[in-house]
A and B are shown apart, each in its own frame.
Chain A
Amino acid sequence: MTKLAQWLWGLALLGSTWAALTTGALGLELPSSCREVLWPLPAYLLVSAGCYALGTVGYRVATFHDCEDAARELQSQIQEARADLARRGMRF
């Protein structure tokens, strides 16, 4: 089974469970506070996934290993190359 099929299968399973529980199709008498938590669950999972993605991106931006010396060296080499090519007649 492909990854896509696996994901769709999992989503379909969870989605049908949630739908069955929220609409009371299974005839279970859940306490009202549980029902209150249950019905916004898909929205909650989406928002949590979004927050996790945002937080991970932010964390990796903050802890990225810069190489300042290499960056400076590269910039000076770029300047050198531009000056050289301009001298030989290339127009930027």
Chain B
Amino acid sequence: MATGTDQVVGLGLVAVSLIIFTYYTAWVILLPFIDSQHVIHKYFLPRAYAVAIPLAAGLMLLLFVGLFITYVMLKNQKVTKKVQ
């Protein structure tokens, strides 16, 4: 078995993914079948955010990946120029 920080990080990732999955499933799948006067609706944002937030997060991820690739490529170019 892995030890120390490996275990903590691994189990942390599992916990985070479970939390996100449960909340999102409740939001998208369960909420429409619950009476709109029920108190549980207080804990969830308006439905449009269920698509908007993952979309925004996905775009941010793509942006970050693009910036990282640009940074690495520029650094590589500079190193090559210095060697020349």
Contact = CB atoms under 8 A, between A and B. Distances in A.
Interface in B52-81: 54-55, 58
Contacts of A68: 3
Interface string B1-33: 111001101111110111011001100110011
Mostly, the B contact residues are: helix
Chain B: interface size category: 20 to 34
A89 interface: no
A51 B6 CA distance: 19
B16 A54 contact: yes
Given A37-B29, A37-B32, A51 B20 contact: yes
Contacts, number: 89
B33 A33 contact: yes
Interface string A37-62: 10011011011100110110111111
Nearest to A58: B13
Interface of B: 1-3, 6-7, 9-14, 16-18, 20-21, 24-25, 28-29, 32-33, 47, 50-51, 54-55, 58
13 contacts: A33-B33, A36-B32, A44-B28, A47-B24, A54-B13, A55-B13, A58-B10, A58-B17, A62-B2, A62-B6, A62-B14, A64-B2, A68-B3
